[in-house]
């Protein structure tokens, strides 16, 4: 693997890893890999192309030839396009989350996206956000975090986000979906959602994200990565 430094941030949906990863990348001036977005685009591409998430050969073909691009808007928002079509909003809804988790359980899909994820490792450094960044994609990373929080707290956070967007959604349904996705992600045969043996586990259930970030930055500083 490259000598370019990488920090991995893994964990379940809603634990705050995306926010922490963005804050880390901004503070360090490093590149950011949102690996979950790649799986979400694969799931969305299946919907666009009329391929069932259960069709392993069809999903794998899409993953191998995924025509995806990421650009940054003047506002700082990350824009995602599939075959030139803006899917930034579409890949962030609950259906997209279920699709991402479903296609991510297919070993050939994970293998198809592995090399593409590693291509993000460029100077001056990379913050990699996902579920198997520290265990599979960048196992030699000098610093690995695993963010977690209770399913109830993660459902409450997601419910608040969706309500703020004007979407009507059941908290009970969100909690059920999160528990189902946790089970699916942690029990899959390939690259299950588990902390790397050398990962630092951070529970954000009762800790505000700014405080979690300061904890993380303290470790980054102690490791001499700043």
Question: Any idea which residue has 């405080």 for tokens?
Answer: 211
Q: What is the pLDDT of residue 2?
A: 60
pTM over 0.85: yes
Q: Model confidence over 129-140: pLDDT tens digits? A: 999 999 999 999
3-state secondary structure of 110: helix
- Tell me the C-alpha distance between 90 and 68, whole Å: 14
- Tell me the C-alpha distance between 191 and 220, whole Å: 25
Strands 126-130 and 31-34: parallel
- Tell me the C-alpha distance between 166 and 164, whole Å: 5
Tokens of 70: 């990421």
- Tell me the C-alpha distance between 196 and 194, whole Å: 6
Tokens of 94: 């609950």
Q: What is the pLDDT of residue 78?
A: 84
Q: Model confidence over 79-131: pLDDT tens digits? A: 899 999 999 999 988 889 899 989 999 999 999 999 899 999 999 999 999 99
Domains of the chain: 6-220 (3.40.50.300)
């Amino acid at each position: 693997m490259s000598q370019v430094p990488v920090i991995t941030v893994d964990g379940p949906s809603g634990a705050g890893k995306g926010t922490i990863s963005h804050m880390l990348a901004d503070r360090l001036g490093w590149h950011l890999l949102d690996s979950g977005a790649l799986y979400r685009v694969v799931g969305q591409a299946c919907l666009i192309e009329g391929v069932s998430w259960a069709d392993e050969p069809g999903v794998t073909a899409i993953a191998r030839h995924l025509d995806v691009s990421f650009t940054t808007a003047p506002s700082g928002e990350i824009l995602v396009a599939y075959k030139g079509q803006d899917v930034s909003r579409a890949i962030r809804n609950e259906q997209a989350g279920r699709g991402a988790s479903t296609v991510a359980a297919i070993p050939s899909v994970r293998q198809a996206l592995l090399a593409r994820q590693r291509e993000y490792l460029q100077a001056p450094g990379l913050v990699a956000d996902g579920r198997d960044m520290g265990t599979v994609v960048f196992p030699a990373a000098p610093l690995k975090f695993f963010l977690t929080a209770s399913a109830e707290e993660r459902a409450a956070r997601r419910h608040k986000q969706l309500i703020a967007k004007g979407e009507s959604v059941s908290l009970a349904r969100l909690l059920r979906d999160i528990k189902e996705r946790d089970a699916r992600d942690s029990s899959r045969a390939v690259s299950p959602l588990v902390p790397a043996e050398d990962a630092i586990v951070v529970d954000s259930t009762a800790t505000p994200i700014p405080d979690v970030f300061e904890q993380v930055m303290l470790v980054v500083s102690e490791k001499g990565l700043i």
